[in-house]
Amino acid sequence: MKVGKCLFANGGLKRLFGSSQKFWDYAKPSEIEKREGSLDITKIFWDDKFVDELKQSIAACKVFLLIPIFNLADGGLGNSENAMSSAMQVKNVPNDLISNFNPLTIVFVAPILTYWFYPFMAKRGYPLKPMTRMTIGFALAGINMVIGAILQWQVEKSSPCGLYATTDCDGVSNISLWAQIPLYSLPAIGELFVNVTSYELAYTRAPARMKSLVYAMVLFTSAISSAIALAAGCFICCPILMLCFKDLNEPVTFNDIDRMEGRQRPKVIAAHKQIEEETGGSGADLPAYDREDEKISRSV
């Protein structure tokens, strides 16, 4: 806290956005002594190396800013996946049983990645670097969300209650609960690429005195994603969940199809030229979109 207070003192934000090196040098005891002429060791009890280690730790934490996005896709936003399962065919199977496929997938896939996939890629000359592994994990999370959106759409489409499928509906969809397995297995594999890699970065790239701080920042990302999910919880329900996609099933109609398809463009340009010849003007009084058509015609 003392170092942070010193960093942001006397226009610290301006130094931060101006020169990163000047921002960090401002809190170094050697620079403080040069700037003030003396050094109060009762207040300035850290050394230059500590500031450099803090800078290195903050740099290592930048990549962790993206992890809350992955956490939101891991298990669905809020309680959406569990709510979806309540509208599916369970056949006497508890709808929360399917969530056990997340740890089961981790237990099964982790040895495969460690003892076969990673060594195989290294032997082929393509070792998976940390950022590559995290990219794969985020891609799996994205695919998981696409599958979840399609499955939610199909559940509501086949449910007798339609958009209110996950509310107090007397009937359920004809889609089986087991269709949710990819929604728990794909993020589980993604965790092995994202979470494990983030722990690796926290341990290997952080200085010895900062390992606990960096690791705490990694875990803090889970708190951020949980807060976002909690804030959005009231919107993750039917029928709000699919309202933003409902118009995709409705065809788009245009009032003037000829203009939309460009059939009127030659006539409009010819009319503009005729007006210019008759009035000797530049067409400034014409509509903006018509003047743009004329500019395009001249450039061609």
Q: What confidence score (pLDDT) does residue 289 get?
A: 45
pLDDT value at residue 111: 93
- Residues of the chain within CATH 1.20.1250.20 domain(s) are 62-249
The pLDDT, as a whole number, for residue 8 is 64
Q: Which CATH number fits domain 62-249: 1.20.1250.20, 3.40.50.1950, 3.40.720.10, 3.40.50.2300?
A: 1.20.1250.20
Q: What is the pLDDT of residue 297?
A: 46
- Residue type for 175, please? I
CB 103 within 8 A of CB 205: no
Predicted pLDDT of residue 263: 63
Q: Are 229 and 72 in contact (CB under 8 A)?
A: yes
Q: Which residues contact 206 (CB under 8 A, 6 or more apart)?
A: 56, 57, 60, 213, 214, 215
The whole model's pTM is what?
A: 0.67
The closest of 255, 271, 265 to 293, measured between CA atoms, is 265
pLDDT at 294: 47
Amino acid identity of residue 90, one-letter, is V
Whole-number pLDDT of residue 139: 92
CA angle 251, 257, 259 (to 5 degrees): 140
Query: What are the helix (H) ranges across the chain?
Result: 2-7, 12-18, 20-25, 29-36, 48-61, 67-73, 80-85, 101-112, 118-123, 130-158, 181-204, 211-231, 240-243, 257-260, 265-279, 288-299
Contact 283, 294 (CB under 8 A): yes
pLDDT recorded at residue 189: 93
| pLDDT for 192 | 92
pLDDT profile of the chain (300 residues), mean per 10:
67 63 70 71 73 76 82 71 76 80 92 92 89 91 86 81 71 83 90 87 77 80 82 67 52 61 67 73 50 46
